[in-house]
Structure 1
């Protein structure tokens, strides 16, 4: 297994100069200004000047995903109404480890800017476009096909986690009881053709402008072919359940995938907060986990109008 060296600013600066050796834009003899995006001890993502971002694969599996992502973005680009990053250059930054230098999309994250009503139409276009991407072509690029998750198994696990959160005064477990075994059975994934799923529509991967428009989507390395409700769930955690369900409805999804996505998000939010609580950390819980829990449990009109215990089969 390839062992990644520790990335440093000097390493990154030299690497960028090498990647850009045959292109214009190497601003100074010392190379562009670089700084890590995060606060990790070994940061894998670096800002390069003001217009580019360098991402370093830290293991062989990540290298494979990074190369696949480059090809997948080109396949997706014509189908969606929002931007995806363009690759400026790529290569190896260590033996067997890939790096990619991408354009930086202008805007903030969904944690910084609230999505507007027009932004919801952007999200609807994203979901519509993902459904139109040819699945066979995505699979030839190496995008894996994954089966839908069992909502019943998730329901049971989240129910137990809710009790642990209740003991810490973090959550009222009676809220989970609204997802009964009958309801979970009615919200199994539909039998339709699987679609391309981004599978990581987090707030950090949505590029939002100050006016609430969705200007771009990052983080395509984890894309799969599978259950579109997973992306509805991701949006519920990122921008709130009402906005996510409105966007999915505009994209042509019916009550079943919308409500399935809602409950996937709710179960995930409960489980993630409980995992953090039980992780043994003596510090405060990450605020974002509480924010995601609140977003997932926002009420939606579709839920109020649907009786999952007695309704006919949902579309």
Structure 2
């Protein structure tokens, strides 16, 4: 769709990726005394969010150096450095997977050097129903959510209440509605979810804040006990809605895989896992498309915006044919005035009968004693 006043992005040579040797040089400035023996191109640095290289020092230790490509990626790197400091050895001991450690920072930041975590990026299609990997994902997410909230609060990282989360969703719906690109049926669908009080009765917990398939490192597929070995991308750590970290799980392609992840998760968290968790996760998953649309609109990028519109149209089709799932809980029928009066009369009669019962009991005891 051609958007008035917008231009499709054109190829540009304004910013070329830094060469791995340039990144290695930045790493030596960030980590005094670092002796780089081998430098390799690293494709796991963040899908274009950063320039990255994999380094091996003279002692054989592997390190990752990342440099921001714009102000947004610089902000993410800065935030992640702060979070990794919060994840102390004591906190990390509570997690069944590895977390990167910061080795050095070149201010601004021009570059950040962290430890390298072995493993392969999770491929959603590799998660089977009732598989060890699906169970491991559920345990990994639950472990994050079971961390003490003081870990986040004491570090003055964001702490949101359930009401804050609700207001955030309301604001997002208003913003995306103002674009005029979202079908009214979807706006109504999301607004109905916002109005469903049962959806927002949950206890906020520590959340990763940006969890997705690409955040997880897993053992090689040859490993019969495939599991999550590491988690990346910690810039968004906060106290918030646990459903945000589970939204991506609902998109796992194999039937039953998402159920295995969620069943494992809820079994570990017990009462801390609210009954509306899956419905909120579905809402957040749908709203990710809305965020993608806003991203395109704010950047005046017709390619991104049109892609989001197509995704919204596909979502609408799924919502209309019932395959998108339900966001709103089952509503109980509203009682009529007469039904309410009969219910109150029945309660009064039961209360009256209960109050007389002890008198009859005492009377029977009295007659028996005589």
TM over 0.5: yes
Structure 2 CA distance for aligned equivalents of residues 156 and 242 of structure 1: 34
* Partner residue of 2:99 out of 84, 92, 113: 84
Instruction: Indicate yes or no: 2:188 matched with 1:164.
Output: no
Instruction: Indicate yes or no: 2:330 matched with 1:308.
Output: yes
Measured at CA, do residues 280 and 140 of structure 1 come closer, stay the same or move farther in structure 2, by a change above 3 Å?
A: closer
Query: More helix by proportion, 1 or 2?
Result: 2
Rg larger in structure: 2
Q: Who is 1:52 aligned against?
A: 63
Structure 2 CA distance for aligned equivalents of residues 107 and 90 of structure 1: 24
Q: Who is 1:262 aligned against?
A: 282
Residues 104-137 of structure 1: per-residue CA shift (max 9 Å, x gap): 33102436x5323422211221232123212112
Structure 2 counterparts to residues 1-315 of structure 1, below 5 A = 8-18=19-29, 22=33, 26-27=36-37, 32-34=39-41, 37=45, 44-49=50-55, 51-56=62-67, 61-62=75-76, 64-74=78-88, 76-87=91-102, 89-92=103-106, 94=107, 99-110=112-123, 113-117=125-129, 118-146=132-160, 147-150=164-167, 151-154=169-172, 164=181, 174=185, 178-179=189-190, 181=192, 184-192=195-203, 194-209=204-219, 211=221, 213-236=227-250, 243-244=257-258, 246-252=260-266, 253-273=273-293, 276=296, 281=301, 283=303, 307-310=329-332
Question: How does the TM-score come out when normalised to structure 1?
Answer: 0.69
Measured at CA, do residues 217 and 82 of structure 1 come closer, stay the same or move farther in structure 2, by a change above 3 Å?
A: same
Measured at CA, do residues 214 and 160 of structure 1 come closer, stay the same or move farther in structure 2, by a change above 3 Å?
A: farther
Q: Who is 1:3 aligned against?
A: none
Residues 144-189 of structure 1: per-residue CA shift (max 9 Å, x gap): 213313345555666777x7356xxxxxx65665556267423443
Q: Any unmatched runs of 5+ in structure 2?
A: 1-16, 57-61, 267-272, 335-370
Provide the aligned C-alpha RMSD in A: 4.5
Measured at CA, do residues 178 and 308 of structure 1 come closer, stay the same or move farther in structure 2, by a change above 3 Å?
A: farther
Measured at CA, do residues 95 and 271 of structure 1 come closer, stay the same or move farther in structure 2, by a change above 3 Å?
A: closer
Question: How does the TM-score come out when normalised to structure 2?
Answer: 0.60
Offset, 1:258:
2.0
Residues 186-233 of structure 1: per-residue CA shift (max 9 Å, x gap): 3443253x3111010123212244536433211011111122121122
Q: Who is 1:170 aligned against?
A: none
Structure 2 CA distance for aligned equivalents of residues 258 and 284 of structure 1: 28
Measured at CA, do residues 274 and 46 of structure 1 come closer, stay the same or move farther in structure 2, by a change above 3 Å?
A: closer
8 Å CA contact retained: 1:152, 1:185: no
Measured at CA, do residues 136 and 307 of structure 1 come closer, stay the same or move farther in structure 2, by a change above 3 Å?
A: closer
Q: Any unmatched runs of 5+ in structure 1?
A: 1-5, 167-172
